[in-house]
Amino acid sequence: MTRRILSIAIAVVGSALGYLAAWTGGTALVQFAGTGRSAPDVFPHLLLALGVVLLAVATLSIVLSSAGVLVVGSLHLAVGLLAVLFPPQGLRGGFAPAFQLLNALNDVSREVSYGAYFAVTTGMGLMTGAALVAIGSASRSRVTAPAQTMRVVSAAVATIIGLPGFLLVLGAGGVIYRSAVVMFDGAPELAVILLVLGVGLVAGALYFTRWSSVGAVELGLVITILGLVFLVAPGLSAGAFGIAHPLGMGITSAGVSGNVLLVGVVITAAAIGAKLRADRAPRASV
């Protein structure tokens, strides 16, 4: 019980502080990227880096218990689903509970509110929630299997299913962000369907953590590297597809704001934490 409570406390507090720092820094980077200039100082980068570290620590709470990542993941899922299912409809807004919540963040910080918009409307928040719930659930029922065999299977599933799922989310999320937030025209149904499909593929691939963490670590590191590339060279990255291409839209919204990097770090940390937990107590189910 003590481990569960401590895990939830670390995960919730660490995630809240981590996103506060990361979204503040990420929003500043987006603003400068929109002008075609680099940030005049390193402060936004330091804030984003601090957020990355705090989120990694928060996610590693899975070593103590999966309760913390399951709580945080469930919150991500709830807000993410509300955002894609009930986006603002035109300038009047309509029934959009998730966006009303995001607007309330303006009382805390405009930068944090903008950062949350980039995370939620692009599907990165939904994917983060699905990833945490998948890895947390798998960690609770981790089983012993032929190590080498399941490592290969886990890595193959991450490559064949997980990576295409991530790209679906990135592209569909970019379309939803442009339509719902930039154009005030709601979310295209096809984009919503593709985004949910992509999230499902990622979650399915990550559930193989039940047998081996190799695939989840692999997928998390690939997304982390892509997130760094999108931050360092946003114009080049988006230009490779074209600004009007769905992936280009995803890069200029989720990538430039640092949210792709955050997803990668969270998945990697959760997978490593699940492995450490299994090594500490192979038969424990906390």
Residue 200 confidence (pLDDT): 96
- Of 89-93, 119-123, 228-232, 242-246, the range with the lowest mean pLDDT is 89-93
Split at pLDDT 50, 70, 90, the class of 131 is very high
With cut-offs at 50, 70 and 90, classify the pLDDT of residue 231. Answer: confident
Residues 6 or more apart from 282 whose CB is under 8 A from it? 142, 144
Q: What is the dihedral of CA 172, 111, 62, 56, to 10 degrees?
A: 100
| Each residue's pLDDT tens digit, 236-276 | 666 666 666 778 888 877 888 899 999 999 999 999 999 88
Residue 156 has pLDDT above 90, yes or no: yes
pLDDT(119) > 60? yes
- If you write DSSP's letter for every residue of 109-150 in order, what string do you get? -HHHHHHHHHHHHTTHHHHHHHHHHHHHHHHHT-----HHHH
* Statement: the pTM of the whole predicted model exceeds 0.75: yes
What's the confidence (pLDDT) of residue 283?
47
pLDDT (0 to 100) of residue 286: 39
C-alpha dist (Å) from residue 20 to 3, 69, 110, 112, 212: 25, 18, 11, 6, 32
pLDDT tens, 28-49? 888 766 555 555 568 888 999 9
Mean pLDDT along residues 203-226: 94
Q: How confident is residue 51, by pLDDT bands cut at 50, 70 and 90?
A: very high
Mean pLDDT score, 163-174: 93
Predicted confidence at residue 285, as pLDDT, reads: 39
What's the chain's length in residues? 286
> What is residue 48's predicted lDDT score, i.e. its pLDDT?
93
The DSSP result for 33-101, as a single string, is: HHTT---SSSHHHHHHHHHHHHHHHHHGGGGT-THHHHHHHHHHHHHHHHHHHS---STT--S-HHHHH
Largest CA distance in the chain: 57
Q: Which percentage of the chain shows pLDDT scores above 90? A: 47
